[in-house]
Every structure is written in C-alpha cells, then in structure tokens.
Amino acid sequence: MRAKIFDSTLRDGAQAEGISFLVGDKIKIAKALDELGVDFIEAGNPGSNQKDMEFFHVAKGLTFKHSKLVAFGSTRRCNGEASSDANLLALLEAGTDYVCIFGKSWDFHVTQIINTTLEENLLMIKDSIRFLISKGKHVFFDAEHFFDGYKSNKEYAIKALQAAEEAGAECLVLCDTNGGTFPDEMVEIIKDVKKNVHTELGIHAHNDSGMAISLSVLAVLNGVTQVQGTFLGYGERCGNANLSAIIANLELKRNVKCLPDGNIKDLTNTARVVAEISNFKLLSTLPYVGETAFAHKAGMHVDGVFKNSKSFEHISPDLVGNERKFLISEVAGKATVLAKIEKIYPNVEKNDPRLSMIIQRIKDLEYLGYQFEGADASFELIVHKTFGAFKPFFEVLDFKTIGEGPSKANLHSSAAIIKVSVEGIEEITAANGDGPVDALNEALRKAIGRFYPILNMVHLSDYKVRILDGKESATAAKTRVLIESTDGASTWSTVGVSKDIIEASFKALIDSIEYKLFKENNK
Ligand SMILES: CC(=O)SCCNC(=O)CCNC(=O)[C@H](O)C(C)(C)COP(=O)(O)OP(=O)(O)OC[C@H]1O[C@@H](n2cnc3c(N)ncnc32)[C@H](O)[C@@H]1OP(=O)(O)O
Ligand SMILES: CC(=O)C(=O)O
C-alpha cells in the first residue's frame, strides 16, 4: 500500500501564530522536504501576498528531485468570472503544474460566510477547476469543512465533491477544517463518500481535538490515498496533522509506503531542520522525532531498556534517525548509572557497591535542589570522585566579591578577590567583571591560569538561574545555577545550588573547570 504525502508547512503552517517565513526560509524547507521525499509541497498562496508569489517566481529556477510544488488558493469569487478572478490568475502566474483550490462544502458556510446560494457555490467550484485544467494544471480540490458539512447537509456536501469530480479534479480532499471530528464518525462518512464519488480521496485534518494524527492514519486505512498535513503539526489554532508522526505510523506500523526506500531514517533530521528554520524549538515530546521521544528517566525503565529495548520502546529510535537517552536523577537506579558510565567505566558490574554510593549522592543532592539530567559534567565528576580517579587540581581557600551600584556605562560594576592553593602554592588574585559572577570567574582563572594554561580556551556559553522555593522564602530562596561551558570543540554542563546566587554560580563554575582539567589530564 502507498500513501501520497502532501506537506503544507509552507502554506497552512504559515497560518500558525508565531510563523513568518522569509522566501529564503521557504526554499530551505522545501529543499529539506524534497530531500526527504514527500510527494507534494504546498508552498504558498500566491494570491495572498507578495512573499508567496516571489517564492514561486524563484522556485521556477530550482530543481526538485522528488517533490512537486503546489500553489494554493480559493475558488473564484461569487458571481464573478473564473477567467478574470485575481486569485485564479495568481495561481496561473505561480507557474506550478499542480494547484490545490479550496471550496465550500458546508451549506452554512455558503449561505452565511460567502453569502451566496448553494447553486452558485457549486458553479464556483466547477468553473474554477475547469478554468485551471484548461490552462494545463493538475487540480486538487480541498473540500473545506467537509465533515461538518456532511453532518449538516449530507446531500449538499456530497454534491460539492461531485461538482469537483465532474469538473476534473484529480483528488478530492476531505477537510476537517475546524478539527472537531472524531475518528469513528470520520470512518463512517468516508465509507459513504466512496459510494458517491470515484475520484482519489485525500484527508486534511486539524488538531483542535487532538485527533489529527489518528484521523489521518485511519483515513488511509480506509482507502484515502493523499495525506495533507504539516511536517511538525504547525498550523492555525492547535495546528494541522503532524506528518512526521503520520509517516512513521503508516510506514512502521501499517506497512504503508510514504517515502522513497530508506528515507524514513532522515525523519528526525528533517524535523530538526524544519523547526530550526521556522524559528521554533523542536517540541521535545513530539512522537518519533522529539528529543525526549526515546529518553528514559525512571530507574526501572532504564533497567528494562538495558536488558531489552523493546521493554519500554515502541520502536527502535534509529529507525527514524533518533537516539536513545538515559537521564540521571533522583528517580534513577543502578542500571541508569551503569548506562551512563558504560563508555568511561565499561567493566563495572551492577552489584558494584560504588553504584549505590553514586545513586545515593545524586538522590541526596537532588533533595537539596540539584538537578542532574541537564548537568552531565557534574554527574561525571561525582562518578570519578566515587571511583577514586579524581585528584583535586586546586583548592579555593577564600573569595570575596564587591558590587557597585548604580553601574556606570562602560565600567565594570563588580570586583572579586580570590585565594587559591595549587599543589601547596598559594595565589591571591583580583579581577573586575560585569557582575560578581563574571568577576569571580575572571579572578579564579587568573589565579590558576598560570598552572593550567589550557583554561584560556574555556568560556561560558550559557548561564541559567532557577529560583527553587521563591514563593515561600522570597529573597532567601534557594537558587539553582546551570552553566554550559565550551572549549570550542566540545560543550559540557554543570550545576550548583545555594541560598546565595553567587555561591551557587561558583559551585557550578568550579565543577566546569574541574571537569575540563580532569578530561585534559585523562586523554
Ligand atoms: C481553511 C483554510 O485555511 S482556507 C485558506 C485561508 N487562508 C487565508 O485566508 C490566508 C490568505 N488570505 C488572504 O491573504 C486574504 O484573505 C485574501 C487576499 C485571500 C482575501 O482578502 P480580502 O479580499 O481582503 O477578503 P477577506 O480576507 O476580508 O475575506 C475573505 C473573502 O474571501 C471569500 N471567500 C472565502 N472562501 C472562499 C472560497 N472558497 N471561494 C471564494 N471566495 C471565498 C469571502 O466570502 C470573503 O469575501 P467578501 O469580502 O466578499 O465577503
Ligand atoms: C483547506 C484548509 O486548509 C482547511 O480546510 O483546513
């Protein structure tokens, strides 16, 4: 069995709050979808705005390996001529071989929204399709609000489909425009539609009831061949059917081909590219492609996966190009620690008492407010310390920070003084900084920098602060600081907790520096 994938990220996805594609963005996303091998890319509505029209002009000079570009628009306006309708003429100017036009199939919309007669709407559908076909286009017909229309006036909704069929549309797409349809009622409606029309059918579902993926998959299993949606579910209100999940469900669970052979492995990478260009963080819990889709945190789950991955995974992550992750936390057990350290201490057995010591230390610290799932380097230090592999590189004997306010433009607002001991040699240094943490960071590096010049390459790339019990303790609340550091080649994250934000930051900073020095010494 085969389903044709029709991606509308660049058209219906652009109707989502927060999205505004540039022409260049659209080209990059279209190229990524083409690489993946979707059949159709609905790339915009040329009658709507200059950007969409410009995309189609630029696209005339581009080659696509697999996908066909589709221009989208509405049927002609009421009581007008198709041959002079601005929207239909814009569809021609777009220059694509395929066009998709939407028309009304709900009687209520015809009489109350476009304010015309039921007969005129059927003529609008027929005229528009015939006109586009006479200009050499392949035409798909989106029957807007089809399921609501069917429930309101079944005969009329079917007549709208028949009008499109009679005019020569190549696919009749049943749209759940308002996203309120349930899968069971949809299946019954599709069965009836198939008795009344004989053209290929499509499904276009919105996610207002959280059903869009189910609707799309079930529609295919009931004989629909074209699946419209957006790659990550972006779209008006609650979004469109999420194609990345639909493709994986159909290919991996129901043996329905959607992509060229082998390309399903590129699903996760395509999702990351589409999210990045859309300027959204990829939702981590997205099925199949999200960053946490195969992340295991509960100790018993990690133990199960370690023994046999199918115990807590519905598919193997590599089938869709994703990765398994184990998260260390207070709900972890020994299996989690083993999974995390198997590359650095490969021969450790589950009954090794040091694993219990590590777990206890993590649970104690998380009780105090630490969080290790985002601080792998701090966790690794605990492991090395417990295994006796870590020898301290320096000792901080004392530090002081001095803040100045109000801060003056172009002048450092803080200073720090620090006293450290390295192999018995004491060193006192002072430094300025933009704020006390920055000053402390500078002073510490100055103090130990002459012993460990490698630290010149290290700098902080991210700094996150979370107040842990702000409501109860106000300004005396505990603070958790997460620091991300980099040496240009790799990045690592560390954590510190204290009632004092400077001390919490300093703890995370010390972990960061100790981690780098340990790694350097154990290459
Ligand atoms: C379910 C969907 O997602 S369908 C796609 C919806 N997408 C969009 O609306 C985005 C693009 N839209 C636009 O850029 C603008 O709405 C335009 C350029 C198309 C039209 O702008 P305007 O002429 O200012 O009209 P406006 O947006 O205020 O109203 C929509 C008009 O389209 C008409 N219309 C709506 N659906 C259809 C249809 N299927 N066929 C013909 N006309 C239609 C309405 O009757 C209304 O016309 P009226 O002003 O004569 O009553
Ligand atoms: C056509 C369309 O986008 C819809 O009916 O939702």
Q: Has residue 475 got a pLDDT over 80?
A: no
Residue 162 confidence (pLDDT): 98
Whether residue 322 is contained in a domain is answered as yes
- Nearest ligand, CA 110: 1
Note whether residue 12 is domain-resident. Answer: no
Which ligand approaches the C-alpha of residue 115 most closely? Answer: 1
Q: Give the model's pLDDT for residue 177.
A: 98
Residue tagged 């192999």 (tokens) = 423
CATH code of the domain containing 206? 3.20.20.70
Confidence of residue 473 (pLDDT cuts 50, 70, 90): low
Residues 68, 109 contacting (CB under 8 angstroms): no
Under the banding of pLDDT at 50, 70 and 90, the label for residue 477 is confident
The reply to whether 146 and 93 lie within a common domain is yes
Rounded to the nearest angstrom, the distance between the alpha carbon of 266 and the centre of ligand 1 is 36
Residue 17 lies in a domain: no
Judge if 111 and 240 occupy the same domain: yes
The residue-averaged pLDDT of 205-227 equals 98
Q: Is residue 55 part of a domain?
A: no
Position 424 in a domain:
yes
The Cβ of residue 129 has, within 10 Å, a number of other Cβ atoms equal to: 28
pLDDT of residue 476: 66
pLDDT attached to residue 406: 66
- CA nearest ligand 1 atom 18, residue: 48
In a domain, 358, yes or no: no
Domain boundary (240, 256, 272) is at: 256
Atom number in ligand 2 closest to CA 142: 1
Residues 150 and 175 in one domain: yes
356 domain residue, yes or no: no
pLDDT for position 308: 97
Which of 8, 9, 45, 141 for a ligand 1 pocket mutation test, highest count of atoms within 8 Å of Cβ? 45
Atom number in ligand 1 closest to CA 145: 1
Q: Give 311-335 pLDDT, tens digit per residue.
A: 999 999 999 999 999 999 999 999 9
Q: Which ligand is nearest to the CA of 230?
A: 2
Q: Do 87 and 173 have their domain in common?
A: yes
160 Cβ contact partners less than 8 Å away, ≥ 6 residues apart: 103, 104, 105, 121, 122, 125, 143, 146, 149
Do both 315 and 418 map to the same domain? no
Q: What is the largest CA-CA distance in the chain?
A: 94
Quick check: 520 pLDDT over 80? Answer: yes
Q: 373 and 244: one domain?
A: no
Burial class (CB in 10 A: 0-12, 13-18, 19+), 287: middle
Query: What one-letter code names the amino acid at 11?
Result: R
**Pocket probe mutation, ligand 2, options 109, 177, 228, 240, max atoms within 8 Å of Cβ:** 177
pTM attached to this predicted model: 0.91
Using the mean position of ligand 1's atoms as its centre, give its distance from the Cα of residue 318 in Å. 44
Average pLDDT over residues 323-348: 95
Residues 400 and 387 placed together within one structural domain of the fold = no
212, 230, 256 - which closes a domain: 256
133-163 tens-digit pLDDT: 999 999 999 999 999 999 999 999 999 999 9
Return the CATH number at 496: 3.30.160.340
Per-residue pLDDT of 71-117, as tens digits, reads 999 999 999 999 999 999 999 999 999 999 999 999 999 999 999 99
**244 and 272 share one domain:** no
Tokens matching residue 9: 């990220």
Grade residue 407 by pLDDT with cuts at 50, 70 and 90. Answer: low
434 pLDDT band (50/70/90 cuts)?
confident
How many of the other CB atoms lie within 10 Å of CB of 515?
Answer: 22
| 62 in any annotated domain | no
Q: What is the CATH number of the domain that holds 433?
A: 3.30.160.740
- Are 201 and 278 part of one and the same domain? no
Interface predicted TM-score of the whole assembly (ipTM), two decimals:
0.96
* 193 phi and psi angles, rounded to 5 deg: -55, -45
For ligand 2, which residues put their CB under 6 angstroms from it? Answer: 12, 102, 142, 144, 175, 177, 204, 206
Residues 280, 173 within the same domain: no
| 403 shares a domain with 383 | no
Task: State which residues form the domain around 204.
Answer: 1-6+72-256
Domains of the chain: total: 4
Q: Could you tell me the distance, in angstroms and rounded to a whole number, from the CA of residue 116 to the centre of ligand 1?
A: 14
Hey, what are 111's tokens? 């009489």
The minimum-distance atom of ligand 1 relative to the CA of 114 is 45
What pLDDT band is residue 293 in, cutting at 50, 70 and 90? very high
Protein residues with CB under 6 Å of any ligand 1 atom: 15, 45, 47-49, 74-75, 77, 102-104, 114, 124, 144, 177
